[in-house]
């Protein structure tokens, strides 16, 4: 009799869960500038889905988890999401270091949960495990795109490269250096920096002055916006008037007047000439009164891709992962606001293009011909 009661209670509890909301985790630096668009895009996407009745008659709820872009905190955040059986999938993390740190948690062989990164570009993520996916291009695409622009569009062949001393900075630097050399360019100096030391860090001036002595004609920066804008200001203060280029981590420098004319690689720009992209940008601006960045667009796509998976195969974790593994192969690709999404055997998006944008009047827009 006691066994029967336990079985009935478990069955009733299971029914309750099936009738409750479907929860999707969102993990990233939610209170920082580079996580803002991610958070707002996720909220907007959930509102859209719930306004049309949810998924399979159930509402979507978001479970936000702030990793502060800290690879030491990311595994703790991932563990909280993984250990909640109501969380069916996760969108995150933003930074490559955080994604790599959290990956072993999501790839637990017994309690795995899908995590789709909107913006982690390190090539190392390709080997993170079967539960890890991303909808953004890797550094192996950003570096060559910047090298091509520097030489073919700007006619520059002597680069000074300053990069944040992390997986992201090193990845963009290495791929740029190889592609730049293949096209006849030369990196006259490549120097790492720590963002936490940039305030009053004399090394930045020393790197820039040494680069001037070696005759650099283009400055490359691979890092986040907070460090990038300080380097841009220092370079201009020391008299460098040539072009400055950077990876997508620099996107938020656009709000600083000193960044006018800086070129930035990105997998999504708000003036992307595609009806889906323009509808998304217009809706985001109406909802939030600002323009989304690539992190927001990729988050929006990741969310709707997860929803499509749930619609077709249900909200079970393993079913979602198996569905995603087949997107673009045995299942149709996903047509998102950031372009077409199809995954390879490593969970990497295939064929996503990298575009060069330029800061104009506080916005990052598609760069035309070299100025």
The model's pLDDT over 263-300, given as tens digits with 9 standing for 90+, comes to 999 999 999 999 999 999 999 999 999 999 999 999 99
Residue 359 inside a domain? The answer is no
Q: Are residues 116 and 207 in the same domain?
A: no
Q: What is the mean pLDDT of residues 21-26?
A: 98
Percent of the chain with pLDDT over 70: 92
Q: Are residues 16 and 111 in the same domain?
A: yes
* CB 217 within 8 Å of CB 242: yes
**Is the pLDDT at 330 greater than 60, yes or no?**
yes
Q: Are residues 12 and 99 in the same domain?
A: yes
For residue 250, the 8-state DSSP code is G
Q: Are residues 189 and 298 in the same domain?
A: no
How many domains does the structure of the chain reveal? 2
The answer to whether the pTM exceeds 0.85 is: yes
User: What is the per-residue pLDDT for 203?
Assistant: 82
Percent of the chain with pLDDT over 90: 89
CA–CA dist 352, 337 (Å, integer): 12
Residue 180 inside a domain? The answer is yes
Q: What is the mean pLDDT of residues 312-323?
A: 98
With bands split at pLDDT 50, 70 and 90, how would you rate the model's confidence at 45? very high
User: What is the per-residue pLDDT for 196?
Assistant: 56
User: What is the per-residue pLDDT for 9?
Assistant: 36
Task: Check which CATH number belongs to the domain holding 252 and give it.
Answer: 3.40.50.2300
Q: Are residues 105 and 193 in the same domain?
A: no
With bands split at pLDDT 50, 70 and 90, how would you rate the model's confidence at 175? very high
Q: Are residues 98 and 156 in the same domain?
A: no
Residues 6 or more apart whose CB falls under 8 angstroms from that of 50 comprise 59, 60
Domain end (from 266, 282, 299): 266
Q: Are residues 176 and 215 in the same domain?
A: yes
Q: Are residues 254 and 332 in the same domain?
A: no
Per-residue pLDDT tens digits for 87-143:
999 999 999 999 999 999 999 999 999 999 999 999 999 999 999 999 999 999 999
Q: Are residues 169 and 112 in the same domain?
A: no
Q: What is the mean pLDDT of residues 245-262?
A: 96
Residue 370 inside a domain? The answer is no
With bands split at pLDDT 50, 70 and 90, how would you rate the model's confidence at 219? very high
Residue 165 inside a domain? The answer is yes
Residue 86 inside a domain? The answer is yes
User: What is the per-residue pLDDT for 101?
Assistant: 98
Q: What is the mean pLDDT of the chain?
A: 92
Domain containing 149 equals 139-266
**Is the pLDDT at 201 greater than 60, yes or no?**
no
Domain end (from 218, 240, 266): 266
State the DSSP string of 275-295: HHHHHHHHHHHHHHSS---HH
Q: Are residues 251 and 278 in the same domain?
A: no
**Is the pLDDT at 1 greater than 60, yes or no?**
no
Closest to 119 measured CA to CA, from 92, 146, 81:
92
Per-residue pLDDT tens digits for 56-87:
999 999 999 999 999 999 999 999 999 999 99
Which residues, in sequence order, are bridge partners of residue 132?
A: 115
Q: Are residues 289 and 145 in the same domain?
A: no
Q: Are residues 324 and 210 in the same domain?
A: no
H/E stretch holding 189 reads strand 186-193
């Amino acid at each position: 009799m006691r066994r029967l009661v336990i079985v009935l209670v478990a069955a009733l509890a299971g029914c309750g869960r099936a009738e409750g909301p479907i929860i999707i985790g969102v993990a990233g630096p939610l209170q920082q500038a580079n996580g803002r668009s991610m958070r707002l895009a996720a909220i907007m996407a959930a509102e859209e889905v719930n306004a049309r009745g949810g998924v399979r008659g159930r509402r979507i709820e978001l479970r936000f988890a702030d990793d502060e872009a800290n690879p030491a905190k990311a595994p703790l955040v991932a563990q909280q999401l993984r250990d909640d059986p109501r969380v069916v999938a996760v969108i995150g993390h933003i930074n490559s270091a955080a994604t790599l740190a959290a990956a072993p948690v999501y790839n637990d062989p017994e309690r795995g949960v899908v995590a789709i990164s909107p913006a982690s570009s390190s090539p190392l993520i390709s080997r993170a495990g079967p539960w890890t996916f991303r909808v953004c291009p890797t550094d192996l695409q950003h570096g060559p795109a910047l090298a091509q622009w520097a030489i073919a569009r700007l006619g520059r062949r002597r680069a000074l490269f300053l990069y944040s001393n992390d997986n992201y900075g090193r990845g963009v630097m290495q791929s740029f250096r190889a592609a730049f050399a293949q096209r006849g360019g030369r990196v006259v100096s490549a120097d790492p920096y720590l963002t936490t030391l940039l305030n009053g860090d004399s090394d930045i001036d020393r790197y820039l002055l040494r680069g001037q002595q070696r005759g650099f004609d283009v400055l490359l920066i691979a890092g986040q916006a907070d460090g990038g804008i300080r380097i841009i200001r220092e370079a201009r203060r020391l008299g460098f008037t040539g072009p400055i280029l950077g990876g997508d981590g620099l996107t938020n420098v656009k709000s600083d007047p000193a960044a006018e004319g800086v070129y930035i690689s990105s997998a999504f720009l708000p003036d992307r000439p595609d009806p889906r992209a323009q509808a998304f940008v217009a809706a985001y601006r109406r909802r939030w009164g600002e323009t989304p960045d690539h992190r927001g667009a990729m988050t929006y796509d990741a969310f709707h891709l997860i929803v499509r998976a749930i619609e077709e195969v249900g909200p079970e974790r393993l079913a979602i992962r198996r569905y995603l593994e087949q997107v673009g192969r045995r299942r149709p690709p996903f047509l998102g606001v950031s372009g077409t999404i199809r995954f390879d055997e490593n969970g990497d998006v295939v064929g996503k293009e990298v575009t060069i944008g330029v800061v104009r009047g506080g916005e990052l827009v598609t760069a035309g011909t070299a100025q």
